[in-house]
Amino acid sequence: MKPFFKVATVKQAVAQIREFAPVASEPVSLVQATGRILAEDIISTIDVPDFARSTMDGYAVQAASTFGASEQNPALFVLKESVSMGQAPDILIFPSTAARIPTGGMMPRGSDSVVMVEHTELVDDDTVEVYRSTAPGQHVVGVGEDIRRGDAVLTRGTKIRPQEAGLLAALGVHEARVFKRPRIGIVSTGDEIVAPDETPAPGQIRDINTYALSGLILQTGAEPVLLGLVRDDLDALTQKCAQALDACDMLLISGGSSVGARDYTVQALSSLKDARIVFHGVSISPGKPTIIGTAAGKPVFGLPGNAVSAMVVFMILVKPAIEQIGGLDPAGQRNLRIPARLSRNLSSAQGRTDYVRVRLIPKTDGLWAEPILGKSGLIHTMVKADGLVEIDSHTEGLDQGALTEVILI
């Protein structure tokens, strides 16, 4: 029986993707944490810093003793012993007493501010002149001023950047719980496909998709699992997909662009455990013959065999799906589209979301997006491109000079 073929809009496809469940979590040491997604909320159990610190080389004083000080009328201070880095000073600061303190040093009891060394002069071993007044708290970071005990500093689903890794280090979180890197299986199908180290016979071409897709998977922070080439053979494809689902968290089947091969992909997917083909076709160009479904509780994508189409569908649909199962909170994601003006008119069919490859050209009046000419299926057009311009399904085209947002690729 022929399955029911439902074509999705890009919006419907993305809504479906948001329902995919996340993978499990694992602990990871802080040096490996950058790029991973937090699987726990982080609440600080300490104040950072947990002692008042100087932010300058200078003298710790009571600010009140400096009021009115100037070059003409310096304030005199009696020197106590100096503060040493990394040690709690055993000093008490009174009015008109001062202690030499390095940047990062712990403020001695009784002091409330630091006079920069540039605004002082040593008179003798026991006396320093101060030429400027300082205010309470000046050149000091107070207890908990960076992070307060009990602060909810990071939430589950946050991507750990270097600064978040640094923050975790400051909190003493030397191991963080993160989502596992999703394992994404790639099966490349087609009777015409040979591996890159083979010489294609007439009518054959080398496998591009395995390499382009594994690169995209790596860029998305996931782990590509290369499952190799499969002929257009239903049994072989079904068996490979079943194996793949055991080993992976998501499955990409690329190829099957011809009508017969497309049917194989649907049939192979349909015969898997708990298979559900959600969408057969997406109104996206390039990339219409895309299949979205689930099997054994895991997302499966049938991607076009053409490398350019497969890459565009990856960027628009598979990447959000990997981020979804990888635990990334979509609310925390930043808009990375670059505004640029179109260098020429672009036409588009209504009812279809188009992605046009463009080169970014910096000019004196800002960035311009120049559409790449050439037939849409050619890989060199992706190599020449810096990004994609989206033309939404309600638009018939974009005019020269129109302000667009470029998705970097």
Nearer to a copy of itself, 89 or 326 (CB): 89
Nearer to a copy of itself, 129 or 145 (CB): 145
Report the nearest approach of a copy of itself to the CB of residue 117 (Å). 8
| Contact between residue 355 and residue 362 where contact means Cβ atoms under 8 Å apart | no
Nearer to a copy of itself, 129 or 191 (CB): 191
Residues 67, 50: Cα–Cα separation, whole Å: 28
Report the nearest approach of a copy of itself to the CB of residue 103 (Å). 4
Residues 404, 124: Cα–Cα separation, whole Å: 67
Report the nearest approach of a copy of itself to the CB of residue 207 (Å). 6
Nearer to a copy of itself, 188 or 294 (CB): 188
Report the nearest approach of a copy of itself to the CB of residue 55 (Å). 6
Nearer to a copy of itself, 96 or 258 (CB): 258
Burial readout 260-295 (b: 16 or more C-beta within 10 A, e: otherwise): ebbebbbebbeebeebebbbbbbbbbbbebbbbbbb
Report the nearest approach of a copy of itself to the CB of residue 77 (Å). 19
Nearer to a copy of itself, 72 or 199 (CB): 199
Nearer to a copy of itself, 179 or 368 (CB): 368
Instruction: Specify the residue for token string 């490349």.
Output: 188
Nearer to a copy of itself, 297 or 374 (CB): 374
Report the nearest approach of a copy of itself to the CB of residue 119 (Å). 15
Report the nearest approach of a copy of itself to the CB of residue 308 (Å). 8
Report the nearest approach of a copy of itself to the CB of residue 16 (Å). 24
Nearer to a copy of itself, 106 or 187 (CB): 106
- Full 3-state SS string of the chain: CCCCCCCECHHHHHHHHCCCCCCCEEEEEHHHCCCCEECCCEECCCCECCCCEECCCEEEECHHHHCCCCCCCCEEEEECCCCCCCCCCCCECCCCEEEEECCCCECCECCCEEEEHHHEEEEECCEEEECCCCCCCCCEECCCCCECCCCEEECCCCECCHHHHHHHHHHCCCEEEEECCCEEEEEEECCCEECCCCCCCCCCEECCHHHHHHHHHHHCCCEEEEEEEECCCHHHHHHHHHHHHHHCCEEEEECCCCHHHHHHHHHHHHCCCCCEEEEECECEECCCCCEEEEECCEEEEEECCCHHHHHHHHHHHHHHHHHHHCCCCHHHCCCCEEEEEECCCEECCCCCEEEEEEEEEEECCEEEEEECCCCCCCHHHHHHCCEEEEECCCCCEECCCCEEEEEEC
Instruction: Tell me the CA distances in angstroms from 144 to 43, 113, 152, 248, one per residue in order.
Output: 13, 16, 13, 44
Report the nearest approach of a copy of itself to the CB of residue 27 (Å). 13
Nearer to a copy of itself, 70 or 204 (CB): 204
Report the nearest approach of a copy of itself to the CB of residue 86 (Å). 4
